[in-house]
Amino acid sequence: MKLRLLFLSTPIGPLGSGQGGGVEQVVPSLAHILQQRGHAVTIAAPQGSVVEGVAVVQVTGDLQPTAHHQCRDAGIIFPGRSVLANMWDYAFQARTQYDVIVNFTYDWLSFYLTPFLGQPVAHMVSMGSLTDAMDAAIGEVVNRFPGTVAMHTQAQAHTFAFGKHCRILGCGLDLTRYSFCDTPGPWLGWMGRISPEKGLEDAVLAAIQSHHPLRVLGKMEDPTYWEMIHRRYPNPPIEYLGFQPTDQLQAMVGQCQALLMSHRWVEAFGIVAIEALACGVPVISYRRGGPVEIVAHGKTGWLVEPDSVSGLVDAIGRISLLDRRACRQQAEEHYSLAAMGQRFEQWFLDVVAAKPAP
Ligand code: HBI
């Protein structure tokens, strides 16, 4: 069955801006692979989104505040002219043109509207549990529409009370865009939004203590946090390369001895880990969240006691025991776009098959 799919992208920033984190990788990659498998894909995303080779409905309105800094008891907030509400306006008025509406937003309205739409909605939850209000909204859909809520990893799902009822779909990359590098320079690498939950300060201290320069790639989301790190560690051995498109990113991280993942929160997946592996770069990560299900400890990386900088430093001392070719091979075996496309396609077909009678 060939499906007509509508993807609702994250409302916190246009595709291509870097503001939307991992979702900015997942939405275009899935669109491309599902088109290759014969399905029709349209993306609805904030005005200014850029996705080559896919129809994009550019939606106007004010961007949604990010959820990843909210406290557990945070209420639901909307800007006056909400781009998210406008995205759902489009989805509702065009709903009969699609077989499945796939929600990639981590926002209350998307779950609340589900029963009113009259078309199947598949929800790809992109982060772990953050607020009670979102847990309640997602949990309501899990109960009323079994099988329609999916997550990337078991670790992510386990942060929710209803996690065992969610489909686990992993993630994947277009590996043809990543080149294997067997001759790294002196650098360690760190990739992610520059934001407190990503724990950059630990990677900086580990780089200092292990006498390696540190290549930092990612959008400068929180300049105050960046300045705090520089006050705490004056003249750090950081080479900040900003937010880079994939072809530049993979060349820069490919020259690193290892990628450090020093996150404070439960990474839902940790796409940067498979980007590094795809370049032959081993991953040294806190034993927390999605990377625990990605890193083959002792083979393609090291898993370290969470929040232990000394653990990072010890692991950095054992990089030579890791095999860069095994890293690329793991990416090819487990994180190809084809494998991800097949898993998501099956999920969409199951959601359509389970569609309640009109
Ligand atoms: N916050 N409100 C909101 N909605 C999102 O879709 C969202 C977010 N914060 C982060 C985010 N999406 C993505 O960067 C992560 O899901 C990867």
Q: Is the pTM of this model over 0.75?
A: yes
Helical spans, DSSP H, in 145-241: 154-157, 200-209, 223-232
Q: What is the pLDDT of residues 206-246, one digit of tens each?
A: 999 999 999 999 999 999 999 999 999 999 999 999 999 99
Q: Assess contact for 193 and 10: CB atoms under 8 A.
A: no
What pLDDT, on a 0 to 100 scale, did the predictor assign at position 358?
Answer: 46
Q: How far is CA 7 from CA 126, 289, 310, in A?
A: 14, 26, 43
How far apart CA 126 and CA 293 sit, in angstroms, is 16
> Any idea of the CA torsion for 102, 106, 111, 117, to the nearest 10 degrees?
-40
- Give Cα 304 to chain centroid, integer Å: 21
* Mean pLDDT on 198-206: 98
> Which ligand 1 atom lies nearest to the CA of residue 104?
6
Atom of ligand 1 nearest to the CA of 66: 1
pLDDT in tens, 94-117: 999 999 999 999 999 999 999 999
Q: What is the pLDDT of residue 355?
A: 67
Q: Is 324 a pocket residue for ligand 1 (Cβ < 6 Å)?
A: no
pLDDT for the residue numbered 357: 46
d(CA 34, CA 341): 6
Phi and psi at 304, nearest 5°, equal -120, 150
Q: Is the CB of 347 under 6 A from ligand 1?
A: no
pLDDT on residue 22 = 87
Ligand 1 geometric centre to CA of 275 (Å)? 20
Given the candidates 3.40.50.2000, 3.30.70.20, 3.40.50.300, 3.30.565.10, the CATH classification of the domain at 4-172+336-353 is 3.40.50.2000
pLDDT band at 184 (very low <50, low <70, confident <90, very high): very high
Please give the CATH topology (third level) of the domain spanning 176-334.
Rossmann fold (3.40.50)
Tokens, residue 145: 């529409």
Ligand 1 and 12: CB distance under 6 A: yes
Expressed in angstroms and rounded, the spacing between residue 194 Cα and the centre of ligand 1 is: 15
Would you say the CB of residue 66 lies under 6 angstroms from ligand 1? yes
Model pLDDT, residue 319: 98
**CA 64 to ligand 1 centroid distance, Å:** 9
The reply to whether ligand 1 has any atom less than 6 angstroms from the CB of 107 is: yes
Return residue ranges of the chain for CATH 3.40.50.2000.
Answer: 4-172+336-353, 176-334
d(CA 105, ligand 1 centre) in Å: 6
Which of 192, 202, 187, 172 is CA-nearest to residue 254?
187
